[in-house]
A = this chain, B = another copy of it.
Amino acid sequence: MTRFDTVIRGGTVATAADVFRADIGIRDGVIAAIADRLGDAERVIDATGRLVLPGGIDAHVHIDQVQAPGLASAGARMADGFLSGTRSAAFGGTTCTLSFAVQHRGASLRAAVEDYHRRAEGNAFLDYSFHLVLADPRPEVLGQELPALIARGHRSLKVYMTYEAMRLSDTQILDVLEVARDQRAVVLVHAENHEIIGWLADRLERRGQTAPRFHATSRPLPVEREATHRALTLGEIAGVPLVIVHVSGAEPLEEIRRARARGVTVIAETCPQYLTLTEQDLDQPDMLGAKVMCSPPPRDTASQAACWRGIEDGTFDLFNSDHAPYRLDGEGKLRAGPNAPFRKVSNGVPGLATRLPILFSEGVVAGRISLPRFVALTAANNAAIYALDRKGRIAVGADADIAIWDPERRVTITNDLLHHEVDYTPWEGMVVTGWPERVLSRGEMIVEQGELRARPGRGRFIEQSVSSAFGPRSWS
């Protein structure tokens, strides 16, 4: 066995299947050996008493998006681009992000992707890939641009059922699904019924009910249940798997279970906000509730319990942050003024750095889920579904994207620990047990001792292959 560049020695390794003590040998940025005892190397990292996990993949991240006109967030600036976004991710134990290259109506999808590539290049600390948001699936986009992009490894698409400037009609979604089916791209769906939301919001507005908490009133669970069922019907008609992102409660989950029982392939994602926050967190004085305004909104404790059960029993496949980096200021959430009505407040919560510590502490340490399930939800399943073949695994031949956790370290979350550019975190003051101390990307130590040790731009674009949602991979 030839020498290794790096050996991680003495740790407890977890994969999506197993937990065992082993040394990890890394060569040329790749995991080359997993063994009971490896000899010396250029660099030896002592992981005694530590957990050695695949670095997280955060497959639902909004960074450096230019908002389309017509959105609540139009004109609002995202505080995080690739530089600070991937920096924050790395501090939270994540080593790969999937963010969104967004087409605007009337614009070119190809140009949007090229522009987004430029935004990443020279800035990203971590490897990254993109989902393509289709806001205007006109014939030349579906017939020419999209196939060309798919051929270049852009094999995940996202469609919105709400947001004025983004949403597609059922027909448009079917058109996208048809291409996705034929070319084996995986489709993510933001499922909320746009028209119900608008109708309810109009009525709230007329009554002057515009404080942040009415954001939740304007999009109750049936809004999400309806759109989830409709999306799954469209997937059933087109004969193609779907990913339902950010599921927030029992009713949409039941739609997912029913679709599976009909034989439909559905991948389900939830996010930290649906496990830990409720609608009541929106009800704070002085627009502070705007901090936790996201869509779907956090619900109630019964919904939290339903989401936890889905985390525990395998209903959810994916756990991502839906990081949306708006500062609580006039450039961000409050662009429309310090007392903006909820419809004009940008949606979303920041979460890149907190996603893994929250699930580790509330899930693994609290005894709800096993370490392999943690790895599956946060890394391995994202790698399989979004077809990042060398990512999300501790296995021979995989990229050495690794997070070394102290499972016993207690940390009080404060915003400055998170190294993003957002000026708050919804989890300020929360005490978690377990923290990622050292993070390697392709074998390179990028975070250590609370310090960033990498240079911007080292991250590379990762091409996607075919999603496991299309069926078992061939092994040869």
B195, A171: Cβ atoms under 8 Å?
Answer: yes
A39, B200: Cβ atoms under 8 Å?
Answer: no
A309, B263: Cβ atoms under 8 Å?
Answer: yes
Task: Show 14 A/B contacts (Cβ-Cβ < 8 Å), sorted by A.
Answer: A1-B35, A17-B18, A18-B398, A22-B396, A22-B397, A51-B475, A170-B199, A174-B195, A174-B199, A220-B237, A222-B236, A222-B237, A229-B229, A257-B261
Query: When chains A and B are docked, how far (Å) is the Cα of A371 from the Cα of B13?
Result: 22
Query: When chains A and B are docked, how far (Å) is the Cα of A375 from the Cα of B84?
Result: 40
Query: When chains A and B are docked, how far (Å) is the Cα of A37 from the Cα of B473?
Result: 24
Q: Interface digits, A67-88 against B, CB 8 Å rule (1 contact, 0 not)?
A: 0000000000000000000000
Query: When chains A and B are docked, how far (Å) is the Cα of A370 from the Cα of B171?
Result: 33
Interface positions of A (Cβ within 8 A of B) = 1-2, 12-22, 25, 27, 30, 32-39, 51, 169-171, 174-175, 193, 195-196, 198-200, 220, 222-223, 225-226, 229-230, 233-234, 236-237, 257, 260-261, 263, 309, 313-314, 364, 367-373, 375-376, 380, 393, 395-398, 407, 468, 471-473, 475-476
Known contacts A199-B171, A472-B369; is A17 also within 8 Å of B20 by CB? no
Chain B, residue nearest A393 (CB): B18
- The complex is assembled from copies of this chain, and their number is 4
CB distance from A258 to the nearest CB of B (A): 9
Residues of B within 8 A of A36 (CB): 27, 30, 32-33, 396-397
* Candidates B263, B367, B475; contact of A472 at CB < 8 Å: B367
Query: When chains A and B are docked, how far (Å) is the Cα of A233 from the Cα of B257?
Result: 19
CB distance from A392 to the nearest CB of B (A): 10
